[in-house]
Amino acid sequence: MLDIKKIRQDFLILDQIVNDEPLVYLDNAATTQKPQQVLDALNDYYHTTNANVHRGVHTLAERATAAYEASREKVRSFINAKSTKEVLFTRGTTTGLNWVAKFAEEILQEGDEVLISIMEHHSNIIPWQEACRKTGAKLVYAYIKDGSLDMDDLRSKLSPKTKFVSLAHVSNVLGAIAPVKEIAELAHEVGAYMVVDGAQSAPHMAIDVQDLDCDFYTLSGHKMLAPTGIGVLYGKEEILNQMSPVEFGGEMIDFVYEQEATWKELPWKFEAGTPNIAGAIALGAALDYLTELGMDQIHAYEQELVNYVLPKLQAIEGLTVYGPQDPSQHAGVIAFNIDGLHPHDVATALDYEGVAVRAGHHCAQPLINHLGISSAARASFYIYNTKADCDKLVDAILKTKEFFNGTF
């Protein structure tokens, strides 16, 4: 069991009044808050360790390098990669997916296909649109059924022409969880690479990339207690060895001559320029924090919140929840609309009740179009949210309905 009271003490930002109401932060799918331990790690780094990595002989440089590489090991352990060679630090999920799509450009040929789903985030659509446009490959979509990925549709669209399958592990709108282990097997059967966008899964459940047997897995630190600007791309070692670096410059080279250069070995050949050292170290602190709580416990607790709040939302007259209607199939990200009310108006009203939610297309315009709506409101939960937060959300929605029904 998680001790939520104790957890909340680590997040000073949560203890504040907005618009005369206590803050209820339910925009965790956009970014999570950071615990004191992560802020301390950042602060300590700049107070005691700051130096550039992999290039100095002095003590601080050695200390910074050791801390940076220790974080890589923490990531390796967190996702159970075979080796730290498979753990590349990036700016975030977007960078990771762009790097994989650049690799795809070297492989894809006219007539080949890339299979994604209609519920992808723009960061798992546009890099593939570009790769397909440049190579003449075709971007193919699997659609949804009952709010989740339609596996029959996905199976029917897999063929030997499919060279990459790239899917969100958890949809940032529908909260649907894709069976990526099963899909990786199907992808490998037709000879395709399996890419998993883990931005919405890594913060919320135990991840074992060897068990999933995916070829690539990406995550964003800021959605799991770490600062913005740090993320991870995992790739299987044998594939990363075939992959060319996307960026070139300092840090990633072995020997440089006037007309050519050779690259460092993995993982450094991908990390050109001075990396986000402080961010990587703070990500390590975030992973320590999550690991200490236990990812299985975190998952169970969030499921408990969903089991509690989803039926209450579904019971509100005129409210539509998107995605799976069964709480056990729905992750802690819940998009909804209220009949006759625009989600922006809803989000403004909720904000005046202290409840922070997002409204808009959630960087998933093709999905929003597919659902036949123009936008939606979205509440998303994390380890510091409580059942009281859920009650406040429901109560604020009811008040919002009342407010607008009076005059609107």
Partner 1 sequence: MALSRLDSLYMAVVADHSKNPHHHGVLEDVEQINLNNPTCGDVINLSVKFDGDVISDIAFAGDGCTISTASSSMMTDAVIGKTKDQALELADIFSKMVQGEKADSQKRLGEASFLAGVSKFPQRIKCSTLAWNALKKSIERSEM
Q: Which amino acid is at 332?
A: G
Residue 368 within binding range of partner 1, rule CB under 8 A: yes
| Alpha-carbon distance values, 174 to 177, 323, 353 (Å) | 9, 4, 25
Round to whole Å and give the CA distance between 60 and 231.
24
Stretch of 37-45, 269-277, 322-330, 356-364 contacting partner 1, by CB under 8 A: 356-364
Q: Is 390 helix (H, G, I), strand (E, B) or coil?
A: helix
Stretch of 63-71, 105-113, 308-316, 360-368 contacting partner 1, by CB under 8 A: 360-368
Stretch of 78-86, 106-114, 308-316, 341-349 contacting partner 1, by CB under 8 A: 341-349
Residue 365 within binding range of partner 1, rule CB under 8 A: yes
Which pairs from 308-314 meet CB under 8 Å and 24+ separation?
308/387, 308/390, 309/334, 309/379, 309/381, 309/387, 309/390, 309/393, 309/394, 310/334, 312/390, 312/394, 313/393, 313/394, 313/397
Dihedral sign computed on CA atoms, order 291, 295, 296, 298: positive
Q: Could you confirm whether 214 is annotated as catalytic?
A: no
Decide whether 308 or 352 has the Cβ nearer to partner 1.
352
Residue 174 within binding range of partner 1, rule CB under 8 A: no
Q: How far is the CB of 356 from partner 1 (least distance, A)?
A: 11
Q: How far is the CB of 346 from partner 1 (least distance, A)?
A: 9
Residue 357 within binding range of partner 1, rule CB under 8 A: no
Q: Which residue, chain included where needed, has tokens 């459940």? A: 205
98 in Cβ contact with 312 (< 8 Å) = no
Decide whether 39 or 373 has the Cβ nearer to partner 1.
373
Decide whether 226 or 333 has the Cβ nearer to partner 1.
333
Among 96, 354, 393, 394, binds partner 1 (CB under 8 A): 354
Residue 129 within binding range of partner 1, rule CB under 8 A: no
Round to whole Å and give the CA distance between 119 and 171.
6
Question: Phi and psi of 190, rounded to 5°?
Answer: -95, 5
Write the CB contacts of 105 (distance below 8 Å, at least 6 apart in sequence). 131, 134, 135
Q: Which amino acid is at 131?
A: A
Residue 161 within binding range of partner 1, rule CB under 8 A: no
Residue 349 within binding range of partner 1, rule CB under 8 A: yes
Q: How far is the CB of 157 from partner 1 (least distance, A)?
A: 28
Among 105, 345, 366, 370, binds partner 1 (CB under 8 A): 345
Q: How far is the CB of 347 from partner 1 (least distance, A)?
A: 8
How many helices and strands (H and E) does the chain possess? Answer: 14, 19
Instruction: Give the bridge partners for 166, in sequence order.
Output: 195
| Alpha-carbon distance values, 222 to 35, 142, 203, 280 (Å) | 12, 29, 9, 11
Round to whole Å and give the CA distance between 346 and 342.
6
Q: How far is the CB of 145 from partner 1 (least distance, A)?
A: 25
Decide whether 3 or 20 has the Cβ nearer to partner 1.
20
Residue 95 within binding range of partner 1, rule CB under 8 A: no
Q: How far is the CB of 349 from partner 1 (least distance, A)?
A: 6
Among 91, 138, 361, 370, binds partner 1 (CB under 8 A): 361
Residue 375 within binding range of partner 1, rule CB under 8 A: yes
Q: How far is the CB of 368 from partner 1 (least distance, A)?
A: 7
Among 343, 377, 382, 390, binds partner 1 (CB under 8 A): 343
Report how many residues bind partner 1 under the rule CB under 8 A: 26
Q: Is 214 helix (H, G, I), strand (E, B) or coil?
A: coil
Q: Which of residues 10-29 bind partner 1 (CB under 8 A)?
A: 19-21
Applying CB under 8 A, the residues found at the interface with partner 1 are: 19-21, 342-345, 348-349, 351-354, 359-361, 365, 368, 374-375, 399-400, 403-404, 407-408
Catalytic residue positions, numbered: 363
